Structure 1
Amino acid sequence: MSLKLYNLSPGLLLAIVVHAAVAPVVLLTAPAMAAQYGGQFGFGAGQIGFLFSTELAAMSLATLPAYYWQKRWNWKNVALAATLLFIAANIASAFATSYVSLLILRFLSAFGGGTLMVLGLASVVLSNQRDRVYGLWVCGQLVIGAIGLWVLPGLFQRYGLSVLYVGLAALMTLALPLARCYPANLERKDDLRRKQTSAAVRKRAAISILGLLSFYIGLSGVWTFIGSIASAAGIDAAKTGELLSIATIFGIVGSLAATGIGSRIARSVSLLAGYAIMTGSILLLFDRPEFLRFAIAACAFKFVWTFVLPFILGTISDQDQDGRLMNTANLAVGGGLAIGPAVAGQILEAGGGFSTMLGFSAIATVLSCAGIFAAHLSQTKNTVAEKVPA
């Protein structure tokens, strides 16, 4: 009998974590990439921003065709095609000679990577320890993002941007065999998820997706402008940079804590504790915080963001029947990451100030908690009712 971890084969677990780590590397290392785009190619701020927006949009748009192929095509073949697209687009990006050609190639690369993200998120439905798997899913992204921000500036000075694109292609080539580890689909006749979807289930699904969207709107607004909050409070920029690097370590610890806890503690406790700390860390940023208060807020925010996310995804995954709900979750993540900074920026430009912006993010976080917790309680109550003999 083959070894299984969290009810997943080692190959599938590795595929979920590795693909989720490699696919969004450009977005995870955006600060280093942005500086290199400007220095090497002379791109303006608008062009650089549009490049990153294009990659984020492509990863989210990969959700749309997935609604079609998830029930019709073999997932192994989809994973193989997405991996090959990612490899080819990154190799071609290393030789791109114009802004337009690079823009197109970055869209294609992110679309392939987004498809792999969709496959990974949906495949976690097969696990009996989803919170733990999603913890590893988050941790992989944080680790490779931290490594990238550490090593890329030096590599860029010697080899230019092409070193990242070739490196991504090489990493995904090494991971190519993992494409065959995905299931053919999630159609399993003996699974309770095969039962007809009721109105109550659809309502829970909608509430939980809105909760995830609100979660990302709140956190992305805060994290995008956290450096500006420090600057407005008179905190030295160098100290802020060092602190945010340390906060990344707290983020890795948070995801590992979620993986370690898993189902050992009731999910309701983990969700409530996580949301309470997250809301508290946002409140600590009010009224021009001094360095110590800012440091506590930033580290707590990063820790709890990655701690509570696996439990949120696990709550949504519990309601998934065929992978499509987790597909929608991928769209909600991209939408939240786009909406949060845009709304926060508009609040600041309109003269609302950081307190108004932080208040908006805190409200979004509380609304997310209400939606996710309501969906979790309803799902738990329904599960208990199914186990009670008639």
Structure 2
Amino acid sequence: MPMSSKPLSAGSATASSHLALLAAIVLFAAITPTVLMTAPAVAAQLATQWNLSPSRIGDLFSAELGAMSLATLPAFWWLKHADWRRVALLAGLAFISANLLSIYAIDYSTLLALRFCSALAGGSLMIVCLSSAASTSNPSRVYGLWVMGQLVVGAIGLSVLPRLFGHYGLAACYLSLAILMALFLPLARCFPQGAPAAPTGPDAAPSANKGKIVLGILGILTFYISLSGVWTFIGAIGAAAGIGAEISGEVLAIATLMGIVGAGCASLIGERLPRGLLLLAGYGLMVGSVLLLLGQPALARLALAALVFKFTWTFILPLVLACLADLDRSGRLMNASNLVIGAGLAIGPAIAGRLIESSGSYQPLLIGAAVLTFTSLLLILGCRRGA
């Protein structure tokens, strides 16, 4: 009996370290994009408190999104040469400092610079989270929790922040972010020091060829262009069909909850079912939800389309990220995906807006989005190992 105590202790320690890493990935990834996830509430407060024009508010959010994407560039160096735990600690301290200083910003240019710095630090933390998740034994489950954490914090923020803004102004948001990051900062030591060493010998997996990597990157780019284009204008599609803004808003709020359910399902299923089958089902439902919006959708059809669209979007994303993680466990490909996600989020609404203006209807946008979604499916299936 005494001989079994050591293996049991080692197994317990391994499980404990895995849970600590999982907590670090989910919590850091949930906090860093909070301002973007609660953009409607923050934008309304910026207009009220700072009297900013829509263009200036848009520039502020574009700067945050751009900074999170630009964090990819220095990461190509530090992913290979620096201790990821030290990077996470320094990025967390920079995030705290930028948010505390944002409370005392007295002009727009200062606030813009501080939000850029905060998002740059947050983007670096996000890259550590993405890369660390790629090194786990069940990436699809971890990425499911990664997405779910962001959605939960976004939903809580949208319900709580307006009340806090009424008493304390924008300082409530920035101070909350600084406090939460300070509370979670000790978890930075739970990240790996760097990418896991590649196995050698007969057990070594063949390295992915560059063609599959390109297919994977294009797959996630087309996925984000499609979903961001449709989601940006889904409220306008409802308004054009005669559905009131209040009712449409309630539908989209419920759809956000369905997004949490979708990410939770992806996490619970993990590797229990064949990933290819899950991708086919998820992408198929997503294409169907986009096509449901064609014409003048009644309230029931709009609600069904929105709920299915949000559910499948967050259900597919962890599976897609897991496919990319299979191609490269070093974290460099996940780092590149961070840049591609930002690019897709920026490109989608820009293309969608021009399609709507040039045609005078939403049909070209919806058909184009359905085609792009199907293209993304083909690209992701093509990039998988053994495909």
> What band does the TM-score fall into relative to the shorter chain?
over 0.9
Q: Is the 8 A contact 1:194 1:321 kept in 2?
A: no
Secondary structure in structure 1 of the residue aligned to 2:68: helix
In structure 1, how many angstroms separate the alpha carbons of the residues matched to 2:142 and 2:61? 28
In structure 1, how many angstroms separate the alpha carbons of the residues matched to 2:195 and 2:383? 22
Secondary structure in structure 1 of the residue aligned to 2:296: coil
Q: Is the 8 A contact 2:135 2:196 kept in 1?
A: no
Matched AA of 1:205 = I
Q: Which of 269, 274, 286 is the aligned partner of 2:277?
A: 269
In structure 2, how many angstroms separate the alpha carbons of the residues matched to 1:360 and 1:4? 47
Q: Is the 8 A contact 1:316 1:326 kept in 2?
A: yes
Listed one character per residue, the Cα deviations across residues 256-296 of structure 1 (whole Å, up to 9, x for unaligned) are 10011111110001100000000000000000100000000
2:333 counterpart of 1:325: yes
Q: Quick one: percent identity of the two aligned structures?
A: 50
2:42 counterpart of 1:36: no
In structure 2, how many angstroms separate the alpha carbons of the residues matched to 1:13 and 1:196? 25
* Corresponding residue number in structure 2 for 1:294: 302
2:229 counterpart of 1:221: yes
TM-superposed deviation, 1:350: 1.7
Map 1:22-171 to 2 at 5 A: 22-171=31-180
2:25 counterpart of 1:16: yes
Change (3 A) 1:248 1:189: closer
* Corresponding residue number in structure 1 for 2:238: 230
Listed one character per residue, the Cα deviations across residues 111-156 of structure 1 (whole Å, up to 9, x for unaligned) are 0000010011011122111110000000000000000001111110
Change (3 A) 1:118 1:192: farther
In structure 2, how many angstroms separate the alpha carbons of the residues matched to 1:62 and 1:194? 34
Q: Is the 8 A contact 2:131 2:329 kept in 1?
A: no
Map 1:245-256 to 2 at 5 A: 245-256=253-264
Matched AA of 2:41 = A
Change (3 A) 1:191 1:62: farther
- The number of aligned residues is 377
In structure 2, how many angstroms separate the alpha carbons of the residues matched to 1:215 and 1:191? 34
Root-mean-square deviation over aligned CA pairs: 1.7
In structure 1, how many angstroms separate the alpha carbons of the residues matched to 2:284 and 2:360? 25
Change (3 A) 1:82 1:205: same
Q: Normalization by structure 2: what TM-score?
A: 0.94
2:353 counterpart of 1:345: yes
Change (3 A) 1:71 1:26: same
Query: Hey, which bits of structure 1, 4+ residues long, moved more than 2 A?
Result: 2-5, 189-198
2:229 counterpart of 1:257: no
* Corresponding residue number in structure 1 for 2:386: 380
Matched AA of 1:357 = L
Q: Is the 8 A contact 2:26 2:146 kept in 1?
A: yes
Matched AA of 2:312 = V
